[in-house]
Amino acid sequence: MSLKYNSPHTSNITNSGTKKKKISSNDSNSNNNATNATVATNIISSNTSSTPPQLPPPAPTTITSKTPPPLPQLSEEQKVEIKEAFELFDTDKDDALDIHGLKFAMKALGFDEKKPELLRILRQHDKNEEGVIAFEDFFKVSKYLTLLFFGL
């Protein structure tokens, strides 16, 4: 099967890479057209060769191990404040706060959360469905809120 393109200004080109020059005699730019036809023929015949063009090898990549920046940490004073607020409102000393203790402990830390938000926090961290939050979860929530609102 042979691909042929006939134009009065270009060469006849086949997929075998052979060409037949046919330049119109009434064309005033016959030299430019002949050059363009030769370039087109060279491009097509180089693209139809049996071996694909060789690509240069990929450039070596350097992987650098970047350690993410450390997460902000609470100061020792902030940790003590969270612990004191929890203990102050854990009136039965069972290491857990109910909704009212949670509300007052959060207020003592400077957070004025509304009841729906407090209920969401309580539900999210109430592992035994007893309506209470343990100190470790209270600490996590307080740490998050402290870093979020007061930043370091």
Which domain CATH number covers 88? 1.10.238.10
Contact between residue 7 and residue 21 where contact means Cβ atoms under 8 Å apart: no
Using 50, 70 and 90 to split pLDDT, how confident is the model at 45? low
pLDDT of residue 100: 94
What domain range is 17 assigned to? 12-47
- Based on the domain organization, do 96 and 142 belong to the same domain? yes
Handedness of CA 78, 83, 87, 90 (dihedral sign): positive
Q: 57 or 77, which is more confident?
A: 77
Residue 57 falls within a domain, yes or no? no
Domains identified in the chain, total number: 2
Q: 67 or 92, which is more confident?
A: 92
pTM of this prediction exceeds 0.85: no
Structure tokens at 42: 């060279």
Q: What is the mean pLDDT of residues 131-141?
A: 93
Using 50, 70 and 90 to split pLDDT, how confident is the model at 12? very low
Residue 85 falls within a domain, yes or no? yes
Q: 102 or 145, which is more confident?
A: 102
Using 50, 70 and 90 to split pLDDT, how confident is the model at 11? very low
Sequence-distant (≥ 6) Cβ neighbours of residue 48 within 8 angstroms: 15, 17
